[in-house]
Homo-oligomer: A and B are copies of this chain.
Amino acid sequence: MSAQGTPTPPIWLLPEPPERRWGLGRAEIVRTAIAIADSGGSDALTMRAVAKELGSSTPMSLYRYVHNKDGLVDLMLDAANAEVTTPEKPGEDWRADLTRLSHDSWTMMKRHPWFAELVHQRPPAGPHASRRQEFVLSTFVGLGQDLSAAVSYHRLLDGYVVGQALQRSEEMKMWQRQGFRGLDDVQELAGAWFVDVGSDAEPRFPLLERVVKDFLGADPHAPATPAEDVQFTLGLDCLLDGISTRL
């Protein structure tokens, strides 16, 4: 990544390349990049990979359109953000609004597991992100909160959603990490990953061990995991409860 050399400014500062007469375009590039990251994870997102997928033999073609990789990431994040529908104005029921918004974001991040990993690598200044943030802020300000409290609550909510998504993508990686056969490996892993497990009679982390066993005992190829959504909703409700007592 750009690391440190010259921390790239958001791509929005740079002019959109003029209307293309032939050749590639931002939209196509971003779509391809998203497809790659969707299927291969954020590690698979490589300028070379995107270029190859597009048929271009070298990655250099892309640079005319996206300026650099950080710019491409900016565009991907914004495209993903565009998939969650943000109301124009706060409605009657603030809690319903925010619940819907959070759930929309959550399903978007389930669709794009790379989002949570990449979003912390760029300043959060995309147009759609800004729009959503403005909406949430205005919701709380409309409820009589001052701006700094509104910012706090927005952070709280946003951090929660992204954090859950991050944790989810970690778990997915854990599954990919090795192909399990059965519960034998589970035992091995549970015993190995958590050091100082202690004797069988008195394990050092009994609860943790049960969690790991439950987790690893589940079918990795189970289609849908409603439990995930239930957990998400529980946390969110609990958070909104806490907020609402403070309004």
Contact = CB atoms under 8 A, between A and B. Distances in A.
Contacts of A196: 127
* Total copies of the chain: 2
Most buried by B among A123, A130, A133, A149: A130
Interface in A198-220: 204-208, 210-211, 214
Interface string A1-36: 001100101101100000000000000000000000
A162 B163 CA distance: 8
B152 A195 contact: no
Contacts of A13: 192-193
Interface residues of A, number: 70
A214 B148 CA distance: 10
Interface in A224-243: 227, 231, 234-235, 237-243
B123 A170 contact: yes
A68 interface: no
B7 A120 contact: no
A141 interface: yes
A163 B159 contact: yes
Contacts of A117: 120
Interface stretch (A58-66, A98-106, A107-115, A172-180): A172-180
B4 A44 contact: yes
A156 to B, nearest CB: 5
Given A123-B170, A152-B231, A238-B245, 5 more contacts: A133-B205, A147-B211, A148-B227, A156-B239, A238-B246
